[in-house]
Amino acid sequence: MVFQSSSSSTTFSTHGAVLGTHGLEPAETTLLIPLVARAYGDQIFPDMAVHDRCAEIALAGLHEDEDEVQEYLQDHLSVYGVLSRTRIFRQLATDFFTRHPHSCGVNLGCGLSSYFQWLDRHDNHWVDADLPAVMSLRESLLPTLGPRHRNASVDLRRAHWWRSLGLPQGPRAQPVWVMLEGVLMYLQPQEVMHVLREFACHAPPGSELVCDSLSWMATGWASLHPSVSHTDAQFAWGARQMSDFTAIDPRLCKLSEHAVLDGYNLATAWLCPGFRALWGVPAYGIVRLGLRGATQAR
């Protein structure tokens, strides 16, 4: 299998590769969707290009069927969504590290994404964390990016995951930037609430949590999603109202909300805002949370 890089003349070949996603759990295999989109979506949507060199390298190292990769690329709306989502996450993190240049960022459920390639400011720190099987695959494909970057195994469904990752905590600690990309919709409702509560209880003042949000109407209907349907993963949670993100703990507050798909075409430009206005939640969007009483940029 051979793919042509969009950012250079380099050709990556996976002939003879022994790595793959066949041993992962269904939700874990969805890491291929953003990986393929970031590796080759620039060619489909050059105006949304993210120039993800690490994604190209990781995908080239996987022993994945070329037809399957092409099927993901045929889902243009999802490819666009990944690129748009990546740009939003990247900008929000850049803004955070501009305000807090010595802070730590953590990508929970990182899969094979590599945000630190863009967010390394030479003073900040970064943690990529996921379930052990994913991290084993990741470490075979993507080396850490220097002494201020580390990989860690974590199960967000278990108690005390904040402490297990060694993340800063306490009123005098540096703020932490937390991202969950393509994670919460595969967790059970009580697990989502546990993740949010853990952040509220342990994150230092000024910390932020940024996640993508799927409407509750998609719950149980992953088989209708053009890309997720190629896996056995299921959507288990979606927000019924925006207060779902903050009701679990009085310290949580919504700082901002960001549309992801509105710019895809004229139809989504009308339908996405209309859905948000009618149902009170986005069909799909990004939510940025903070802690009450902390000084936050809005």
Walk me through the domains of the chain, giving residue ranges and CATH numbers. 79-291 (3.40.50.150)
State what percent of residues in the chain have pLDDT above 70.
91
Listing DSSP states for 124-187 in one string gives -EEEEEE-HHHHHHHHHH----STTEEEEE--TTSTTHHHHTT---STTSPPEEEEESS-GGGS
> Comparing C-alpha atoms, which of 256, 247, 258, 253 is closest to residue 294?
253
- Nearest-angstrom CA–CA distance, 83 and 127: 22
Give the β-pairing of 284-291 and 252-259: antiparallel
Give mean pLDDT, residues 273-280: 97
pLDDT higher than 70, residue 2: no
Give mean pLDDT, residues 281-288: 98
pLDDT higher than 70, residue 296: no
Mention every residue, 6+ apart, whose C-beta is less than 8 A from residue 116: 105, 126, 128, 145, 149
- Distances, alpha carbon 109 to alpha carbons 99, 102, 114, 236, in Å: 25, 23, 12, 16
Mention every residue, 6+ apart, whose C-beta is less than 8 A from residue 25: 131, 133
- Nearest-angstrom CA–CA distance, 211 and 254: 11
- Nearest-angstrom CA–CA distance, 236 and 30: 14
Question: How far is C-alpha 47 from the geometric centre of its chain's CA atoms?
Answer: 21
Question: How far is C-alpha 63 from the geometric centre of its chain's CA atoms?
Answer: 23
Which three-class secondary structure state does DSSP give residue 44?
coil
pLDDT higher than 90, residue 17: no
Residue 254's pLDDT is 98
pTM for this entry: 0.91
Residue 21's pLDDT is 72
> Comparing C-alpha atoms, which of 108, 150, 89 is closest to residue 125?
150
Residue 250's pLDDT is 96
> Identity (one letter) of the amino acid at 220?
G
pLDDT higher than 70, residue 5: no
Residues 201 and 249: beta-carbon distance below 8 Å: yes
Band of the pLDDT at 3, cuts 50, 70, 90? very low
Tokens standing for 90?
């990247």
- Nearest-angstrom CA–CA distance, 142 and 282: 33
State what percent of residues in the chain have pLDDT above 90.
85
Tokens standing for 159?
């108690």
Residues 12 and 3: beta-carbon distance below 8 Å: yes
N-terminal to C-terminal alpha carbon distance within the chain: 46
Residues 38 and 52: beta-carbon distance below 8 Å: yes
pLDDT higher than 90, residue 116: yes
